[in-house]
Amino acid sequence: MTISKGDEIPSTSFATMTDHGPETISSDDFFKGKTVAIFSVPGAFTPTCSAKHLPGFIEKAGDLKAKGVDAIACTAVNDAFVMGAWGKQAGAGDAVTMLADGNGDFAKAVGLTMDGSKFGMGTRGQRFSMLVKDGVVEQLNVEEPGDFKVSSAEHLLGQL
């Protein structure tokens, strides 16, 4: 079942790249007591994700934070090494936390997976954005396959 507005984020875990290597963080800890703008991309270093999606959130980070967002996070079904390298290459810095969903546990738990087998990618997370307040979904924007409209930083900013 797909997550909806008003639902709690399910308990899963992510990995983040640190100076000491990958570290695990629970979704419960990441979302607790904060307003988080989180967006999912089908894959790190893929065309739309690298040219538009991640750069848009980096560019609008200050505007989102000015509207009450405490943290911005990008997730993809990639490992922490790939997500860390992509974040570094894109200049995410402290603006966007790169959350690796290596086994797709988060994407499955929120019911937003896609079959990328046709492209050699296997099961991935769909392209979407969410605004989550203290672990509860306030906004959910899921793209139609191949689209990039409602999951953008600009769209989410307009919902605040």
Query: What is d(CA 61, CA 103) in angstroms, rounded to the nearest whole number?
Result: 27
74 catalytic residue (yes or no) = no
Give the dihedral sign, CA 31/141/49/12.
positive
> Of the residues 49, 73, 95, 96, which is catalytic?
49
- Give exposure, 54-76, as e/b (b: 16+ Cβ within 10 Å): bbbbbebbeebeebebebbbbbb
For strands 71-76 and 97-100, give the pairing: parallel
- Please give the distance of CA 33 from its chain centroid, rounded to a whole number: 18
Spatial CB neighbours of 131, under 8 Å, sequence gap ≥ 6:
35, 36, 37, 69, 137, 138, 139, 156, 159, 160
- Per-residue tokens: 50: 């690298």
Cβ-in-10-Å burial (0-12, 13-18, 19+) of 103 comes to: middle
Give the residue numbers marked as catalytic: 49
